[in-house]
Structure 1
């Protein structure tokens, strides 16, 4: 395993509110919102992924590709037709593995997805990211729609 790879399974140190300092970043957040540097993202706002739901956490990742999915899905689900935004962010408090993906969908958290009940500060916008082709994005949206129809689009928040 190289230093930039996330260990999986028993080799991996779980990221908890008490034990998160071993995760170095940089960190990213993908969203539909246009934000300025210095803005703080806080819990208690509407979810990008389930209409009418308030999120108790702010979600972020150490993988640009994961943030790109967040930006693209947020804008697609909102029906805006816009590109979305990916930001470099700084957690202002402790954080933990996102239980919605860690070991539930992706053993060992290879997406390096995290959540916090504390603010994230926007450091800057990342402009040079590449989105997915329309067919790949449509496939992901179809998959999410099927999960929703089956009642399996549960977000543990």
Structure 2
């Protein structure tokens, strides 16, 4: 009996997961719709764009300020332009990339934890400004 109950639960779960992108209606009136993921941004750096897109999918972000975490270490990122739109970011990991400037990070009011280790060409002046601005943890490259 337990075996059949388990099979039924797995079957129903599979059906429900397969229906995640549908609009459910009653008498042809929408009752439940799945929210659209946020797409209203432009990020020129291809590596950063891929990372942000994946974070939006993983965290089911529907507006710019909902993105709170971004882990883009070892991604080959060189430019952070466009990141300033995500004002809800509190945690950002950009360790081991090829960043030279981090000016867009200075416009993130909720940023509380950042890792910039391993960015050997980073402008240390911007790094120090960011460190003063953030109350939480700031990890800068060794040369800073």
TM-score (norm 2): 0.25
Q: Which has the higher contact order (CA 8 A, sep 6+)?
A: 1
Higher helix proportion: 2
Structure label with greater radius of gyration: 2
TM-score norm. by structure 1 comes to: 0.24
Please state which structure has a larger fraction of its residues in strand: 1
